[in-house]
A and B are shown apart, each in its own frame.
Chain A
Amino acid sequence: MNLTVNGELRAFPPLADLTALIAELGLDRRKVAIERNLEIVPRSAYGRTKLLDGDRIEIVHFIGGG
């Protein structure tokens, strides 16, 4: 399936939901926040947030800043 993740169009194997995407990307779910198609997905809802071909996903985290 094709997803645009952090602005980059990428091909993925079929992924059921956001939990699967996080695992596929090797990320720690406790350290990120996610938008799907411009809507914030609460961490508790990753498992029931289905992914569709063409979804636009933003995955962000805290970095150093002033």
Chain B
Amino acid sequence: MNGYLTVKNLSVSLPNGVRILRNVSLDVAAGQVHGLVGESGAGKSMIGKAVLGTLPHKIEITGGEIWMDGVDLLKLTPKERRKKIGAIAALIPQDPLTALNPSKRIGPQITSRLVEILGWSQQNATARAIELLEQVHIPDPARVMRSYPHELSGGMRQRILIASAFAAEPKLIIADEPTTALDVTVQKQILKLIAHMQARHGTALLFVTHDLGVVSKVCDTLSVLYAGKIIENANMRRFFTRPIHPYSRALLAATPTYTNPDSLLTSVSDEIVEGLANEIHYHDIRNTL
């Protein structure tokens, strides 16, 4: 394991001692896209939050290592950690409706970070913001920068968040279900846009989603998460041709197809779920990458 972001045996617990992430390990190589899939409540978003240091109040990291750019973040003081993360990582959040400050105009929301934290001149920051808004295909960026978030559509806001995430040329971006809050037609555009921006800027991307279809389009490698445990780490081609874990196989089988419209929707069977429960509690899960 020598990726740009390496998570080793990470555990995260609730205040009552329940572990919501159990010995999670994964690896995101520089310039690559790593998908993180799992059901609702599996702990996908928690991994992203743990890495970026934005875990909710009272939820704490109770073990493991998070290596980013060759440094173990958990060995740093909170202040140093925030600085380190701020310098190299960025977030594309899940819900574009709450991810922009409603009382500030768009322009300052993109540029204030560059100016106040990274020490750019206001002129350079504004020019950079306009350049990035153009890259995410926003018409009339100068006007958009003067708007308040509520004056823009959800798709527009998600584009702005993407532009904002890439603004300071981060080495790592965590996209936390960036398309779930959008409708399907917009989803596709945004997905394309993220993939395009990632390729253009050569950023490592941790892509959190519950949609295997999305993963197959944008990712190089992926991890499957179930109940806070990594079930399978794999590269894309191997995963879609020969999934190893029965749960992965069941997930793939449950993906609806267009080619056979008469086929019924299948779900993950109780047997597999029960098997998973046993496995998670009693066996050590081997990483298969």
Q: Do chains A and B interact in one complex?
A: no
Interface residues of chain B, those whose CB is within 8 Å of chain A, are none
Interface residues of chain A, those whose CB is within 8 Å of chain B, are none
